[in-house]
Structure 1
Amino acid sequence: MKKYYSIDKIIQKSDYQLDHHDLKDLCIRGQLTPCIYFVGNIVCIHEERHQNEIDARELGPHIRSISWTNTFKGYINSDEFLNFIDSSTAPTDQTNVFFHVQKIIEYIDPLNKFQSLAQDEYLKAFPRMTDDDIRNIRWLVEDKHFEGNPFSSTEIVFHYSEVDALFSAQIQREEDIKFFNEYETSSQSDQLERMRAQVKDLEKEKEEYLKKIERLELELDIKHDDLIKASVNNGLLSAIVKKLEDKQSISVDELTHLQENGLCESININKKLYTTPALEAVYGVIQEHWIDYDPDSNQPPPKQTTVTNWIKKHYPAVQAEDIRRYIDKICRHPKAKKGGNTKTIDNRKTPKVSPQ
């Protein structure tokens, strides 16, 4: 299966209806993401910016520190790639350098799992260095003299998922929906059976779109934050939870039937909910760190220190370290580790007493 498409292959796949300028426009609109294959080091830099206390019109101090580093092999996206999509039409190969990494498209062989970016953090790419997997390199010193990572316009490729989505949407717009085909058959039962099969195929094709529409309608009626609070305080409708866990849609008629038969609790979103600073922190942590977490997709969970520091910053009333750790434990997914290394001592030896 083809995983990455070059610029020329996409143009060829479009039957030459798209050109280089069209691809650049699709990248600007977020439908395509240009990337290249890169082997090196990904360095996460935390930068604090402070206002000039003497003269606010002047630049203030910037404090930079290294949050984490990882050796890397895979595909990355950088803003510098965008302007080289249309330059690939030049007679000679166009080259430049890049520094920052906007998005990691795919990592093939990382030695360590990647962490989520915290506030005021960004990624920079550096080439491989001697013993960089075990040596503590002073990356901020290296950054002062670093001249960038070279790349050429012919290296730019696009992930197959975006390319397939682009052309499937185009086909969907161009093709008319065909409901039934006529068959030459003398048996009415055979004709009905064929029609049922066609209806089944049509329903399967449109099922995902109907689910999205119904979920959008549900979100218009109940805000996402209020839905989380209601589920914590009052208990969310058990039938809706089951439906969402099974990735099924639920209609208004089904909701009415469940309420009339007493099979679910009603939720009054307009009713003022009992809350405390710690409960507000619980809602915030769920929304910020866990609402989109998927343990089955190799997604790295946030470290406990990241969560507790986030609580300390956004909820001034919850400053006690033990309370912030308990909130992290309450919200943390059962399959997610806390991060860091924990040293345990199983067999403690009794210290020897020197003879008197």
Structure 2
Amino acid sequence: MPAAVEFAQVTRHFGNVRAVDGVDLTIAEGSFFAMLGPSGSGKTTCLRLISGFESPTTGTIRIFGEDVSTTPPHLRNVNTVFQDYALFPHMNVRDNVAYGLMVKGIGKTQRHEKAEEMLSLVKLSGYGDRKPGQLSGGQRQRVALARALVNEPRVLLLDEPLGALDLKLREAMQDELKALQQRLGITFVFVTHDQHEALSMADSLAVFNEGKIAQIGTPEAVYNRPATRFVADFVGSSNVLPPALTRALGGPDEWASLRPEVTRLAATGPVTATVTALRYLGSGTRVVLDMGGTELAAIVPAGQPLPEPGTQTAIAFDPAALHIMAGA
């Protein structure tokens, strides 16, 4: 069975800027795949290459085995949900959802029935007569989803669709999106700069940096076994240890990653540090440490005693939690 999406040495240049630089990528059918990275890393350009809104400078893009490198957007079996939702303010919700079917020439009765079916799917039954301006941000996001799904795409592209929502609503919509993808069984490709979104929803993810993929894998693998210093710093918060400090802590003479949540304060240890700050997180406190010019952090769970800034402490951790980043 062919993959849902494949990139083979794809580049996209804008003048002298290599927005996408030699990307190889395979996205499995029926998976929830996330493209994660900072602004300008190439993730959104890759999404636009899949949709057909951009064309590769070099390389090949396949969707379900078919070379679509030069295929226009309307002939690809994909649809996109944009960050700003791009709803028509003068149309009611039902007509917004049915717009793609109208363009295809499907009759009014049939397309309205299909639109109502999609609204029910995204939990907006009874909202068809409202205008987008009468909806909340979360409801408009659901309408945009329904409009994208009404054409029954085999691949749904989502360009940071939760970015405009507040924290609680964003978390709720993360759960709903994941449940919807599992229910429909179609391929979701989700672009975000939010590491928590990517880690909580994706079956697998690619971390982008400067037009290239820095690492690709499951959320667990990328988080616990970062391939490079960039991935360790960007995906979650990590203590990136230089070779001398790794060696002092009992590891090899290599760069290493040690997550704050597995770093503990101890009475004794091979290396001591100075407590420089305490940052309350609710479920615990982040203790910032200075180890001879290298800043580390440890998480102390709520309810446990905290050191005073300026005091000395040692650190302890499970040796298996120290991840060596050879060549990083």
Task: Give the TM-score, by structure 1 length.
Answer: 0.23
Bigger radius of gyration among the two: 1
Higher fraction of helix: 1
Kindly indicate whether structure 1 or structure 2 has the higher relative contact order, using CA contacts under 8 Å at least 6 residues apart.
2
Higher fraction of strand: 2
